Structure 1
Amino acid sequence: MMTTYSKLSIVALFLSVFTFAQQGGGMWIPTELNEQEMKEMGMNISAKDIFDPSQPSIKDAIAHFGGGCTSEVISPKGLLLTNHHCGFGQIQSHSTVENNYLEDGFWAESFEKELPNPGLDATFIVDIREVTDKVLQGVSSTDSEVARNGRIKDNIDIITANTVKESYQDVMIKPFYKGNKYYLFITETYKDVRLVGTPPSSIGKFGSDTDNWMWPRHTGDFAVFRIYADKNNKPAEYSKDNVPYTPKHYLPVNVGGINEGDFTFVFGFPGMTDEYLPASSIEQITTKLNPAKIEIRENALKIIDGYMKSDPQIKIQYASKYARVANYYKKWIGENQGLAKSNAIAKKKAYEADFNERVRKACMTEKSKRCVEYPSLVSDLDKLNGMIEPYNFASDYFDETIYRNSETFRVALLLNNVLALEKKEGFDAYYNRIEGYLDGLFKDYNAMVDKEVSLALWDMYKENMPKEFQPKDVNITADDIKNSVIVKSLAKDTKKTFSNKASFLKALKSDALVAKIGKVKDSYENNVTKNQSQLQAQINNKMRTYMKAQLEFMDDTKFFPDANSTLRVTYGKVNGYEPSDAVYYAPTSTLKGVMEKYVPGDYEFDAPAKLIELYNNKDYGDYAQDGEIPVNFLATNHTTGGNSGSPALDADGNLIGLNFDRVWEGTMSDYNYDPEICRNIMVDARYILFIIDKYANAQRLIDEMTLVK
């Protein structure tokens, strides 16, 4: 029998799902945890055990790794654990054809043999304080965006200057809830972080791009570093006189195992989410922006992959770059699928209908400014999103074809900046900075590979970038690239080329590629950037008001702040999931699965001989569960980029795993967290210990740790 539902019933159905999803997720500021809810879910410790600025707590073991990932201290001697992919750049930089740590792994036999990494740092959060009233002091709702931002900046400068801190500490103030709240962070950054150990890529990247974002997963995605400090245990630049850092707190490692339904929480630095966007924004992302970016990266990856498979030197050069490009390519595909599967747009529209109805009812009798602003918020945002769409598309297209995926074009853009600053103040400092950047970039640059990528992307730019945003009569050829100073001089010897400033600048001015990319850049900035910025400022203003309105009217929804690379806690339970009808995935994988996927000599699914031997002999030490070595597991924690390397902790605050990914269908959690399908993927701590102990024979590292059951 077919049942007929009213529109109101459908709205209520979608709304109930949306509300449930919101309650299931969350990236919470650690000073504002719902301790009662966490304990009801199984946590045994207190919120103070997690974050306490006045005495050691778990937060003292959590460090922002290199500004983009998370890491955690796991020994009293500053041993630092993070993902293999987070340390990939450092591992690659120490690798050569003769000593290929990507292929063979690396394990320092002593403190003296641990490898320094210039530019790599680890930042701890010392304290978090809300400073909303101080930041917004003197700010009026009638201020223009420019005036508002100027006043806020002045207030932040004053607050920062007057914050009491140690000389080696820094202050950071960031907006939350679209600028409706502000929090201050006191930080300590350690600048001497050394590579201690890494498994080979056949373990740390097992499954590579095929398995990326997928489940079941069998990846030992971890690497071990160590923080060094001066003799007073304070932050210091690299020095041979530095000593291993003594942390305020380090994480014990639980070797007792996990089971489905166990409570777990993840502590880290998630990068970016946008959970409160209107439906029109989600629609633009899924139908216009993501498909364009996916197509561009697919073409670039196809070319790079062909070269990597045919040349071992190129494979080393491009390993990190390929992984970086492929990461978001695949993420955007899964994001679109997840948003469609979870009916995100329909749920958002139902939520907006409910919001509008609540505002309408309240404003029937209330006469206030908010009753002038709030009723049209959603429709205003829809209109603005329609206006900004062509500029967002052009921005993404320029970014993906000219800046991100062609190193040759990116260098040409930077060299245009060099010419623009030639006779201006600050030129020498910029010139020197660009020299250092390019010297590093060209270490892993291959002119042949990048020429083919660049020309393919240029063809896409010419075909798909709206004509009104393109420069007239500009076409980039293979000869332009071949004869450019970028390939002929810079790629061969950056320092020598930069050393003769007058000659180099003269060469730039007659370089056809640099001139053509300059015209592309000028056309983009003149026709896209200004209009996009103006519209985005209006959207930001409306979104700030919309966020404020939601907080006022949607009082039955739990609002957590969007991720912004600040320290957060998310909690959930170990759980499997059903990605589609009649398909169920268990929440754990084992070494048996590695062997089932194993393909000798394969780029993605090869396995080291010693790992195979350990498996065949069942030589598992103390790390097995039910006769198998656990490898990865799933939970309902709400994570995103930046949470890579974050510790997964048990109910008592012990390390049980290392976060490194999400399931493909759940990558849309940046916009729409749904506990039915969103899962984070973690390396089981016992697999990490097994590899360190039984595979690498690095017992000295095991001896540093505190193992508990």
Structure 2
Amino acid sequence: MWLPMLIKRLNHADMQKKGLQLTAEEIYSVNNSSLKDAIVQFGGFCTGEFISKEGLLLTNHHCGYGAIQSHSTPQHDYLTDGFWAKSHAEELPNEGLFVDILVRMDDVTGKVLEGIDNNTPETERAQKVGQRMQALAKEASNNGEYVTYVRDFFNGNEYYLFVYNRFTDVRLVGTPPSSIGKYGGDTDNWMWPRHTGDFSMFRVYMGKDGKPAKYSKDNVPYKPKHHLPINIADKEPGDFSMVFGFPGRTKRFMTSQGLQLEVDQLNKSRIKLREKKLDLWKQDMDKDAATRIKYASKYASTANYYKYSIGQNEGIKRMKTLEGKRADEAKYQTWANADAQRKALYGNVLSDIDASYKEIETYNLGSIYLNEAILGTESLLMAYRLMPLYTTLKGNDAAATQKAVEDLLPRVDAFFKDYNMPTDKKVFAAMLKFYSEDIAKDQQPAAFKNLVAKYKGDFNKLADHVYSNSFVVSEQKLKDFLKNPTAKKLENDPAFAIVQPIMENFQTNIAPKIGAANAKLATANRLYVAGLRQMNPNFVYYPDANSTIRLSYGAVKDYSPQDGVLYNYYTTMEGLMAKEDPTNEEFEVPAKLKQLYQAKDYGRYANDKGEMVVNFITDNDITGGNSGSPVINGKGELIGLAFDGNWEAMTGDLVYDADYKRCINVDARYVLFIIDKYAGANNLISEMTIVDTDSPGAGDAAKAEAKTPQAELLNATMTEAQEKLRAGKTEFKIEKKKGDAKVKLQVKD
């Protein structure tokens, strides 16, 4: 996951060997149009890319899911039926959705760490670093014109400034139905083979002056400095591929102690709590269409990392990741102890890390359950959002109270649009029961323990009381309260009366202890990574992902998940239809898509074999946040969209597995086929730059060779031989001749 501005120095020569035909400046340039100008951070949580000069943006269906869901109603169910704007006037605005486009990034390590060394006290270091990061970002913002921030890399050993243009007028243009965009649902999530058309389309708008502007009918489509041509030629194993996007978070420098904590506490808790929540949601979603629409987006996002946690724990065990980490740490300790100066600086690093994690472990469960169980319950989350208002009411600050109310009202509307009280009530009872049973009693507030005792541990009765008397579970009652809010009314609300003491207890008794342990851990981790890089001076490290723009490069590649099994590098509509199950909503196939399949009406989007390719895999390094990232060939052309990783490599955030790690992508040809043949949205196709020449890659020499007479004869001979073998013939001879070229093949049993 390389920083684009460093590609020229660190990676360009290697990328050229693998098939890249672009210069480093064509990938990243501040002064000229480059690939980076076609890439956006979508909504702060995904990636998107421009595919036309009119600001047409492509991302994943699951990235656009919230926007699609927000426009869906039982009468206009775009999740089920899809949506296609046939003109700019039909495109749908999305309040709160934005895209960030990188202007530039700068190495500011020297400025941030000036005068700071290993002798600087940690408190002083943290204060200076924080102040300088804020000052550099503020200076670069040009009085608020740009979105700017400074991020640390290599655990605080380097710092980079990022400057973005933020556009807030982003409109929904097109989406296939969920039966295409989410085909396979949770069953196929993180799995290969896959047959999912995971894409959606938006358009970015700007003011007539060419600058970012709030939504207005007078805005015009954004004119990107660069947009990606779309290549519809066949792909072969070894073809160069790069993924450009915004990977969210990796922890590949984490030591074995931290990894053990991830397995034993975070993942196990996430699996337990989310499994119950998903089950309760699904029961009600299956009974009622309106509830299904309300909870569709929440269900999908919750299920994603529920399943991920399961796969990660299994992968860590299978790959013996803990054992590998411990072996590396033993080498580190030996290296540190071998020199007196190194020992003084790095000798206690691993023991300090171990001590910090042991302290965190004592209180970590309370932090996890606060987020997953307490604030993972919708009514309690809404009650928590009232806490800033409570503070202003207690302070008798009328102006601040009015501002707090104004800030809350749009959130109230959004909350109740996607809320079903009976469903949330069941989740409340289940989550509070888990919190009561699993969190150490001395870490629970007295008010909560008294409430549990009052209802004799019957959380269904507690739920009856809360949901009958709290105003946070009723849109009208909550809005009535906000017309004349008082601190006393809030204190007497049963939902608020649960959240407030839990939050205050956490902030007073738990968070400071976790914070102190994390501060010690941060110091030790910074030294650990610095020592690691010093220990291996000839190895080029890349920094952990942290939601900043990155580029990974690799190739189209199949893989073997286990002995005797080989997964092909692409899937087709044949496989999609083989999975069809009209009784299972995850595997329903739209009637029109079936008609196109039966007629083999794929147009120019079929491969050379006449197949409609749906998905393909590469060995690119991705993680969450890369969803929607373009998969780009060596000429800088779009060949697909990254949308998932594979089950066998769920340890990817912690360690990269070259043998198993695969990036699952929707093929650009399937995207165009759905837009063109299925949706008939020719207005969108006409905007794009579509090319059909072979992409460059490691297979180029073989492709050129295949055009020679000898190679043509050899290919024809092998094709004929394969047909004979499939027919059961075990002894035969084939001779072919063309000009001076001659091929003879003899097969014996």
Q: Same fold (TM over 0.5)?
A: yes
Question: Is 1:391 aligned to 2:363, yes or no?
Answer: yes
Aligned mates of 1:189, 1:437 — CA distance in 2: 22
Other structure's SS at 1:127 match = strand
Q: Tell whether the 8 Å contact from 2:471 to 2:478 is kept in structure 1 after alignment.
A: no
Farther-moved stretch of structure 1 (106-115 vs 137-146): 137-146
Which residue number in structure 2 is paired with residue 524 of structure 1?
Answer: 506
Question: Is 1:690 aligned to 2:677, yes or no?
Answer: no
Which residue number in structure 1 is paired with residue 469 of structure 2?
Answer: 484
Aligned mates of 1:164, 1:305 — CA distance in 2: 45
Matches within 5 A, 1:36-55: 36-55=13-32
Cα distance, 1:56 vs. partner? 0.2
Aligned mates of 2:140, 2:491 — CA distance in 1: 48
Which residue number in structure 2 is paired with residue 271 of structure 1?
Answer: 248
Aligned mates of 1:358, 1:82 — CA distance in 2: 46
Which residue number in structure 1 is paired with residue 94 of structure 2?
Answer: 117
Question: Is 1:192 aligned to 2:175, yes or no?
Answer: no
Cα distance, 1:144 vs. partner? 3.7
Q: Tell whether the 8 Å contact from 1:439 to 1:495 is kept in structure 2 after alignment.
A: no
Which residue number in structure 1 is paired with residue 541 of structure 2?
Answer: 559
Matches within 5 A, 1:251-270: 251-270=228-247
Farther-moved stretch of structure 1 (182-191 vs 479-488): 479-488
Other structure's SS at 1:87 match = helix
Cα distance, 1:166 vs. partner? 8.8
Which residue number in structure 2 is paired with residue 430 of structure 1?
Answer: 404
Other structure's SS at 1:683 match = strand
CA deviation digits over 1:568-626, x for unaligned, max 9? 00111111222222222111111111111111142211011000000000000100111
Structure 1 regions of 5+ residues with no counterpart? 1-25
Matches within 5 A, 1:190-589: 190-361=167-338, 363=339, 367-368=340-341, 370-404=342-376, 406-424=377-395, 426-471=400-445, 472-475=449-452, 477-487=462-472, 489=474, 491-492=475-476, 494-502=478-486, 505-589=487-571
Other structure's SS at 1:473 match = helix
Letter in 2 for 1:432: E
Cα distance, 1:49 vs. partner? 1.0
Matches within 5 A, 1:9-28: 26-28=1-3
Letter in 2 for 1:642: G
Cα distance 1:650–1:145, how it changes in 2: closer, same or farther (>3 A)?
Answer: same
Aligned mates of 1:167, 1:317 — CA distance in 2: 36
Which residue number in structure 2 is paired with residue 605 of structure 1?
Answer: 587
Aligned mates of 1:628, 1:453 — CA distance in 2: 46
Q: Tell whether the 8 Å contact from 1:27 to 1:562 is kept in structure 2 after alignment.
A: no
Aligned mates of 2:301, 2:144 — CA distance in 1: 36
Q: Tell whether the 8 Å contact from 2:93 to 2:170 is kept in structure 1 after alignment.
A: yes
Q: Tell whether the 8 Å contact from 1:339 to 1:672 is kept in structure 2 after alignment.
A: no
Cα distance 1:352–1:488, how it changes in 2: closer, same or farther (>3 A)?
Answer: closer
Other structure's SS at 2:47 match = strand
Question: Is 1:655 aligned to 2:638, yes or no?
Answer: yes
Q: Tell whether the 8 Å contact from 1:193 to 1:227 is kept in structure 2 after alignment.
A: yes
Cα distance, 1:292 vs. partner? 1.5
Cα distance, 1:441 vs. partner? 1.1
CA deviation digits over 1:379-426, x for unaligned, max 9? 22122212211212221122111012x101212222344323323354
Aligned mates of 1:535, 1:110 — CA distance in 2: 56
Q: Tell whether the 8 Å contact from 2:39 to 2:50 is kept in structure 1 after alignment.
A: yes
Cα distance, 1:341 vs. partner? 1.6
Letter in 1 for 2:262: I
Which residue number in structure 2 is paired with residue 23 of structure 1?
Answer: none
Cα distance, 1:190 vs. partner? 1.1
CA deviation digits over 1:275-327, x for unaligned, max 9? 10111111121123211210111011111111111111111010001001101
Cα distance, 1:192 vs. partner? 0.8
Q: Tell whether the 8 Å contact from 1:481 to 1:487 is kept in structure 2 after alignment.
A: no
Aligned mates of 1:557, 1:457 — CA distance in 2: 47
RMSD over aligned CA atoms reads: 1.7
Cα distance, 1:493 vs. partner? 5.8
Q: TM-score, normalised by structure 1?
A: 0.92
Aligned mates of 2:393, 2:36 — CA distance in 1: 46
Cα distance, 1:680 vs. partner? 1.1
Farther-moved stretch of structure 1 (539-548 vs 39-48): 39-48
Cα distance 1:221–1:299, how it changes in 2: closer, same or farther (>3 A)?
Answer: same
Aligned mates of 2:572, 2:144 — CA distance in 1: 48
Give the alignment partner of residue 110 of structure 2, picking from 90, 114, 133: 133
Aligned mates of 1:27, 1:287 — CA distance in 2: 31
Question: Is 1:707 aligned to 2:690, yes or no?
Answer: yes
Question: Is 1:641 aligned to 2:624, yes or no?
Answer: yes
Cα distance 1:102–1:164, how it changes in 2: closer, same or farther (>3 A)?
Answer: closer
CA deviation digits over 1:433-492, x for unaligned, max 9? 233222211111000000001101111111111222112323261223222333554x34
Letter in 1 for 2:681: A
Cα distance, 1:427 vs. partner? 3.8
The structure, 1 or 2, with the larger RCO (C-alpha pairs under 8 Å, 6+ apart) is 1
Which residue number in structure 2 is paired with residue 627 of structure 1?
Answer: 610
Letter in 1 for 2:312: E
Aligned mates of 1:322, 1:75 — CA distance in 2: 33
Q: Tell whether the 8 Å contact from 2:85 to 2:173 is kept in structure 1 after alignment.
A: yes
Cα distance 1:299–1:629, how it changes in 2: closer, same or farther (>3 A)?
Answer: same
Farther-moved stretch of structure 1 (221-230 vs 409-418): 409-418
Cα distance, 1:701 vs. partner? 0.6
Aligned length: 675
Aligned mates of 2:361, 2:100 — CA distance in 1: 37
Aligned mates of 1:637, 1:537 — CA distance in 2: 33
Which residue number in structure 2 is paired with residue 665 of structure 1?
Answer: 648
Structure 2 regions of 5+ residues with no counterpart? 453-458, 693-749
Cα distance 1:428–1:27, how it changes in 2: closer, same or farther (>3 A)?
Answer: farther
Identical residues among aligned pairs (%) = 42
Aligned mates of 1:530, 1:206 — CA distance in 2: 45
Q: Tell whether the 8 Å contact from 1:106 to 1:198 is kept in structure 2 after alignment.
A: yes
Q: State the structure with more CA Rg.
A: 2
Cα distance 1:488–1:456, how it changes in 2: closer, same or farther (>3 A)?
Answer: closer
Aligned mates of 1:664, 1:178 — CA distance in 2: 28
Cα distance 1:166–1:691, how it changes in 2: closer, same or farther (>3 A)?
Answer: farther
Other structure's SS at 2:587 match = coil
Letter in 1 for 2:16: K
Cα distance 1:198–1:340, how it changes in 2: closer, same or farther (>3 A)?
Answer: same
Aligned mates of 1:347, 1:434 — CA distance in 2: 49
Cα distance, 1:29 vs. partner? 4.0
Cα distance 1:89–1:230, how it changes in 2: closer, same or farther (>3 A)?
Answer: same
Cα distance 1:484–1:372, how it changes in 2: closer, same or farther (>3 A)?
Answer: farther
Aligned mates of 1:692, 1:494 — CA distance in 2: 43
Cα distance, 1:140 vs. partner? 4.2
Runs of 4+ in 1 over 6 A off after TM superposition: none
